A and B are shown apart, each in its own frame.
Chain A
Amino acid sequence: MLNRDFSKSNKEYFSKNKFTILILVAFLVIGILVGAFFGMKSNFEIAGYNEFTVRVGEDSSNYNEYIDKISTAINNENGDYDSFSIMGDGDDTKLVIRYMNELTNEQQNSINENIVIELSILDTDISSHVYVSPVVENTDYIFTALTIILMLILASIFAYFRYNAASALTTIIASVIGTLMFMSVGAILRLTIGMSYFAMLVILNLLIIFFAFNIFENIREKNWLQTDDYSTAIDTSMKANRLRMCVISLAVFIIGLLLVLFMPTSVKYISLNIMFMAVVILAVGLYVVPFSWSVFITICKKREVKVKADKENIVENSTSEKDNEK
């Protein structure tokens, strides 16, 4: 997997692991590029939506039939159309149909006509059709970023004091790479995101920090750092934590899978995001954390040795100066 020969220089070290680095960098670059060009697909909460309010009379016995007809009308028209919700009101006399505003005018008109045709068969009355602006505010993006940054600052301070500088740096890097990977997957696969996506980003970082701390805690517990055998340290720790990381990731994956299977269409793509989150946290836990830690611990130790040597030189010099003065 990773080559962690700490006797080699940094240059050699990077060349030995160039394949892993290449994959990570490629993932990030592609993700950022795709994200920049296409962006993620937003659901009705972020993009706004068209709302059809349809009166269906007092009779609620055909309620499910209406829903089926409308679902068919929307889905038939546009294969990749994925975010709509159909809501009945309290006493089942009205259906509120929402669909995103990310389609072209022609597509929207076509869908509208389709719904009208389907509903006219059902002898209903379309009472209104309006565009509703997004629910999500611009500040939501800022506060999500702020939450993650605050979490990372606190986590890295904790890691610095409880473990070491390498662990603190690894926590930050793992979180940043994990977040970018997660967003890249969303952008590449054009997954739909909604308001819950913000919370998902926070959860993702929380789990990455949790995985990283489990690994660091194990290294600390076994006093591996005092032996300077970093390679064995990280390998043993990874071995001890691998099962737990897999179980937790699997649990997250199952949450996503169950939601995909059971939840209505409007939530399916949010649920897919949860499934990919499981894959990302596992990848970060198994590869990014140990790799980053190995790199940072080497740099930190080399720096430590250098500082120590410099200090010793200063002490030696001052002692010799004093001797000379005497």
Chain B
Amino acid sequence: MTKKRSKCLFVVFSIILVICLIASFVNFTYPFTINGNYYSYSNFVSNLKLGEDIGKTYRIVYRAELPEGEAQANYNNLKTSTMLQLKDIVQSEGYEDVTVTSYGSDSILIQIGNILTIDDENEIVDLIGAPAAISFSMSSENTDPFAGPKDIDTVSAYDYYDSSTGETIYGVLINFKEELIDEIESATADGGTVYIFLGDTQFTSMDLNSSAITNGQIFMQSDSFVDHASANTVANIIRTGMLDLELTTVESDSITPTYGVGSNIWMAIVMAVLILIAFIFMIVKYRDLGWLACFNLLFFITISLFLLQSIPLVHMNFAGMIGVLIAFMFVIDSFMSIFDKAKEHYNQDTKLYVAMKVAQRECLTKTFVMNVGLMIVGLICLFMPSLAISSFGWATFVMSFVSIFCVQALQRLFIKMYLALNSTDGKKCNFHKGGKHA
């Protein structure tokens, strides 16, 4: 590589790095309009999904009461099963960071982390905000309903494309329990209209003549179903209304991190200080090579931030943050391994560019194995149901890929570029012939 080409490449990579840093840390409004509207850009850091311990948490408290006819002795068992079912419902909506706990003697507390925007909060209110028991009746007054929440097997939002009208039809598909199919069919055999109630309110009515109920299945339609999300909201209300205990919403709000107010900001400060210390250490110890490592580490940070905020299942809690720092340390250790090895060879009277190349070759397997090891540990951890361990697993798993890329690809390229500018003077890298140290 020629000096000119090397300089050009450094300039190009510097520009890319500046763009990456802006994308990672700066929020701004686009200086142009689309259809007359201004849009703003949200950086990678603010898009990180924070766990409930260091991020904003949404919480809902339900009063859980026994249904009529259930013995009080069963309350604790039913409460436990209701809590498990609630956790499943929230997790099935893609919210991994959820804790469901017993709140006092008669209530249940749900806390959900990873909430980014106000829209998400509304989504959660819709998701499990107000459970209601569904009932099906042939009378508009809901007298003598022929089926209720206990008769339902599965509920899901469903949509299909109607080629005759050219529209997508949204609705909720309800499957009744198999043993009740005959009973339901005999109740609706005379035709007419079936009225569907959510709690005490009539939600919708459907004409049975258009075979609304077939094979123990009903496709519930309503004017309020304008998209999949609106149908899903109702499906979730029905699902929570089917739980073992009858739930009533007591309160729902959002709170600051459970580890205390401002813990996310202090965590960020701690990480920044540590990164700064690492940069100073590398520069003091390896001079030019230290600068090169810092240049690479900035790429490592921005690529990691991009991946951590864009992969849906990744959530950053305290353990995840520590995982990020550990992965960061592994990258620095990889750089140190290569530089120390090069120093060792240079001390034995080898030329700088030869020393660097030999060091890279010798450390190739070691650094690769180290990062693959980290990846395997991450892989094991991310399948664990414990929230802290899975969060740590996601952080290390994602960052091990970035680490391999930065250490094996970017670093080799940067060293090649650097050697084109300085292939002889080891002093610039704090290397000294014969083992003397500065």
A residues sitting closer than 8 Å to B (CB atoms) are 44, 51, 67, 85-90, 94, 96, 98, 130-135, 139-140, 143-144, 146-147, 150-151, 154-155, 158, 195-200, 202-203, 206-207, 209-210, 213, 217, 244, 247-248, 251-252, 254-255, 258-259, 262-267, 270, 274
Contact = CB atoms under 8 A, between A and B. Distances in A.
A217 B109 contact: no
Given A89-B253, A130-B103, A206-B377, A274 B259 contact: no
A85 to B, nearest CB: 5
Given A130-B103, A267-B259, A199 B388 contact: yes
Given A89-B253, A90-B56, A154-B376, A144 B260 contact: no
A151 B388 contact: no
B322 A85 contact: no
Contact of B255 (A44, A90, A259, A265): A90
B244 interface: no
B260 A264 contact: yes
Contacts, number: 163
Contact of B102 (A96, A132, A199): A132
B366 interface: yes
Contacts of B381: 147, 199, 202
B260 A85 contact: yes
Interface centre among A96, A139, A144, A147 (most CB of B within 10 A): A147
B388 A143 contact: no
B75 to A, nearest CB: 14
A193 to B, nearest CB: 11
Contact of A87 (B103, B260, B318): B260
B262 interface: yes
Contacts of A131: 104
Contacts of A67: 261
A133 B374 CA distance: 35
B389 A244 contact: no
Contacts of B366: 217
Nearest to A263: B266
B391 interface: yes
B322 A255 contact: yes
B262 to A, nearest CB: 7
Given A200-B322, A251-B278, A267-B259, A90 B333 contact: no
Contact of A254 (B259, B274, B323): B274
B270 A151 contact: no
A143 B389 contact: yes
Contact of B258 (A85, A94, A150, A262): A85
B263 interface: yes
A124 B385 CA distance: 40
Nearest to B99: A135
Contact of A195 (B53, B101, B255, B263): B53
Contact of A255 (B109, B253, B262, B325): B325
Contacts of B278: 251
Interface string B246-285: 0000000111111111110011011001100110010000
B253 A90 contact: yes
B384 interface: yes
